[in-house]
Amino acid sequence: MKTALSRSLALGLLLLAGNALAQSTPAQSLPEWEKLTPQQRDALIAPVRERWNSDPDDRPRMLEHAQRWKSMTPEQRRQARKGMRRFEGMNPHQREEARVLFLRMKDLPPEQRKKLRDDWKAMTPEQRRAWIQKNAPQDSRQAPPPLPPLPPR
């Protein structure tokens, strides 16, 4: 849970810094990295520097995430940003469901992923809740908090 949230926060902070820079200057006039002023570079990396310094245990994951991001195609990056925006708009219960589904689906072959998505869409809220509780990680580092009770019908 912490890692997914940390990833979202890191990417979000980086995107916010980039958005702030982009809003102050038209995109067409922004130079290559090497031609940015020290102030522009600092505006882009300050959020990452702050997280890097404040959480030494998270540094290996941050570095791995940066390397993975660099190797992504523009389309994969677009999809990642889209997913991050969707995740940010979710309530805590929806986020927990998304985390558990992601952790379960990430290692499945495509045909099993499709089946799980189809099964998920057909489930009632009670069935989804039971599935989440059954499939939530047992590792104490990733163990999600207990899910809130379902709202009355």
pLDDT tens digits, 82-117? 999 999 999 998 999 999 999 999 889 999 999 999
* Overall number of domains in the chain: 2
Residue 99 and residue 51 in one domain: no
Domain-ending residue, one of 46, 70, 89:
89
Counting Cα atoms < 13 Å in the Cβ hemisphere of 61 gives 15
| Measured distance CA(33)–CA(146) in Å, rounded | 45
Which range (113-117, 139-143, 146-150) has the least confidence?
139-143
pLDDT, position 127: 93
Regarding whether 79 and 41 lie in a shared domain, the answer is yes
Q: How confident is the model at residue 5 (pLDDT cuts 50, 70, 90)?
A: very low
Cα dihedral 99, 56, 54, 21, rounded to 10, equals -70
Using the predicted structure, report yes or no on whether residue 134 has a pLDDT greater than 50. yes
Same domain, 81 and 112: no
Query: Are both 74 and 16 inside the same structural domain?
Result: yes
Domain span including residue 18:
1-89
Residues 41 and 106 in one domain: no
Q: How far apart are CA 130 and CA 94, in angstroms?
A: 14
